[in-house]
Amino acid sequence: MIHYRKILELHDEGISLRGIASSTGHSRQKVTEIIGLAEKKGLVCPLEEEMTDKWIEEFLFPEKTLEASGRHPLNFDYIHEELAKPNVTLSLLHHEYEAECRAHQKIPYSYRSFLRHYSNYADKYKATLRIRRKPGEIMEVDWAGSTAFIIDRDTGEKVKAFVFVATLPCSQFSYAEASLSMDSHSWITLHNNAYKYFGGTTQIVVPDNLKTSVTKHTTRELILNPAYKEMADYYNTVVMPARVRTPKDKASVEGSVGVISTWIIAALRNMHCFTIDELNEEVGKKLDEFNKRPFTRKKGSRLSAFEEEEKFAVSPLPIAPYKMSEWKKTTVAPDYHVSFDSMFYSVPYEYINREVEVRVSDNLIEVFFNHMRIASHKRLYGKFGQTTTIHDHMPDNHKLFVDQTPKAAIEWAENIGESTLNVIRYLLDTSQTEKLALQSIFSLKKFERRYTKYEIERACKMVLSMTKRPTVKSIQTLLKTNKKNDAEQELKRKTEINKNNYGFTRGASYYGGTDK
């Protein structure tokens, strides 16, 4: 039997490799191999009493026990590394192991023995056992059953604080934070903080069937809360709620909730905090202690297990955290606007009386109809009753009225002619108010529906030649008179053409006769 313990203790005392080899009767090559492997696996002096030569041999060379059985040895490091990859299972690895044994004409272990040996290896040498959970795959979330509290400075009363818990089942690494509310905004904010604490996101998040996460959950249908689903999409993760009344679907967080209730909430029972920030500062300290506490049945802690076995597998975070948005259903009013917080935002007038969904974030209002966005606005703040209207959302008759501005009136007149422009300028300069002038100009512009630009320009020119104070009424009268005169002139012209429209009479010579 090799004197493993003596070799490591002599090396710790500073004895040279030559001296250790001479004292133990082993070659320097073997001594060097043992010392190097012990350092690699973290086995350092002083050694515990239970670490006998046999224990150290099984720790450094676990494959020796398997080789004695006459079966093809297992590469445990390879198995453990492969199990961290997506969709890789022990069943698949055992199948590949059997294929390798057949190729080399070796006797394989049965699947049950394969599973038992890997479990023993992982329990003894690794922080996590990758049979049920993969690193970076799942984050389980829930509210702790027990509550913490803060003290109201004014009344001295205790105010409840609800504790959010998130756990990574593979490493059992956990996050906890207190909140004064259990609403949707707090729920999603705490998810953001948990992802930040873990330094990344998981492929799946498993919540309970709370209204903040699930709208409807039956065996046939799952409808997520829109804001929660949007958050999951932003972090590229999938929400898989636990089945109703099935706590085993999120056993890790259920277990962590119980432990955290003891080691964090109960530990702070005599601590008096006056703000939620003070409470969370204390919760953070207790959480740090909790994650660093050594496991009772295996080496390491939740923190070391996370750093060594799971941190590499979490997906990187986006550049900016998810910004909370709120959803509500409403009906478009007859004035083609929807309201939120006493502010009004336009949508295309075709959707009047239709039910739409409104997504509200800190800076943006978006309106959806049948999952299609039909309008978006910058969110309004300040005085109640503010309105934002997009020109393209209005019907044509509203556009025509809204477009009445002095600048628009001048541009229209310039497009008609010089006389019309002079009339418009006169109306703008002499009216008592701009509103009255624009009403007159609006009436004048409506003449375009019945008269050509030439007719309007001619009427304006005639009015200006007759008076220095043109009015819309006088222009309208001239337009009618000119229209009537033009019609009479056209009728007279056609009549004269018909009177002069006679045939050509041929003489007798044309038919072979003689003229007399």
DSSP codes of every residue in 164-200: EEEEETTTTEEEEEEES--SHHHHHHHHHHHHHHHTS
Q: Give how far Cα 48 sits from Cα of 43, 55, 181, Å.
A: 10, 11, 49
pLDDT at 200: 92
**Rounded average pLDDT over 242-250:** 57
**504 belongs to a structural domain:** no
CATH number for position 302: 3.30.420.10
- Tell whether 488 and 377 lie within a shared domain: no
pLDDT at 193: 93
**516 belongs to a structural domain:** no
- Tell whether 276 and 176 lie within a shared domain: yes
In this prediction, residue 368 has a pLDDT band, given cuts at 50, 70 and 90, of very high
* 70-79, 140-149, 198-207, 355-364, range with the lowest pLDDT: 70-79
**Rounded average pLDDT over 342-356:** 92
- Tell whether 180 and 237 lie within a shared domain: yes
- Tell whether 220 and 148 lie within a shared domain: yes
Work out the burial of residue 4: count CB atoms within 10 Å of its CB; fewer than 13 is exposed, 13-18 middle, 19 or more buried. Answer: buried
Domain boundary among 393, 413, 444: 393
pLDDT at 27: 81
**Rounded average pLDDT over 448-458:** 85
**399 belongs to a structural domain:** no
- Tell whether 384 and 408 lie within a shared domain: no
- Tell whether 57 and 121 lie within a shared domain: no
Is the model's pLDDT at 13 over the cut of 80? no
Model pLDDT for residues 24-40, shown as the tens digit of each residue = 777 878 888 888 877 77
Domain boundary among 64, 94, 111: 64
Is the model's pLDDT at 53 over the cut of 80? no
- Tell whether 158 and 305 lie within a shared domain: yes
- Tell whether 283 and 375 lie within a shared domain: no
Task: Tell me, rounded to whole angstroms, the distance of Cα 47 from its chain centroid.
Answer: 51
Domain boundary among 393, 413, 443: 393
Highest-confidence range of 209-218, 339-348, 441-450, by mean pLDDT? 339-348
Model pLDDT for residues 477-502, shown as the tens digit of each residue = 888 888 888 788 878 777 776 666 55
**181 belongs to a structural domain:** yes
Cα gap 505→484, rounded to integer Å: 39
Run of H or E residues at 161 = strand 158-168
**165 belongs to a structural domain:** yes
Is the model's pLDDT at 337 over the cut of 60? yes
Is the model's pLDDT at 419 over the cut of 60? yes
Of 512 and 419, which is predicted with more confidence?
419
**Rounded average pLDDT over 176-188:** 89
**398 belongs to a structural domain:** no
pLDDT at 192: 92
SS3 call for 4? helix
Model pLDDT for residues 64-96, shown as the tens digit of each residue = 655 555 577 788 778 877 777 766 777 888 888
**Rounded average pLDDT over 331-350:** 91
Of 183 and 432, which is predicted with more confidence?
183
- Tell whether 481 and 376 lie within a shared domain: no
- Structural domain of residue 228, as residue ranges? 138-310
- Tell whether 421 and 453 lie within a shared domain: yes
- Tell whether 170 and 220 lie within a shared domain: yes
**Rounded average pLDDT over 112-122:** 78
Model pLDDT for residues 307-319, shown as the tens digit of each residue = 888 888 889 999 8
Nearest 5°: phi and psi at 44?
-125, 160
Answer whether 346's CB lies under 8 Å from 336's CB: yes
Is the model's pLDDT at 244 over the cut of 70? no
CB neighbourhood size of 135 (10 A): 24
Answer whether 148's CB lies under 8 Å from 165's CB: no
**179 belongs to a structural domain:** yes
Domains of the chain: total: 5
Sign of CA dihedral 407, 410, 416, 420: positive
**Rounded average pLDDT over 252-266:** 71
- Tell whether 434 and 375 lie within a shared domain: no
**Rounded average pLDDT over 52-60:** 73
What is the reported pTM?
0.55
Nearest 5°: phi and psi at 127?
-75, -30
In this prediction, residue 201 has a pLDDT band, given cuts at 50, 70 and 90, of very high
**237 belongs to a structural domain:** yes
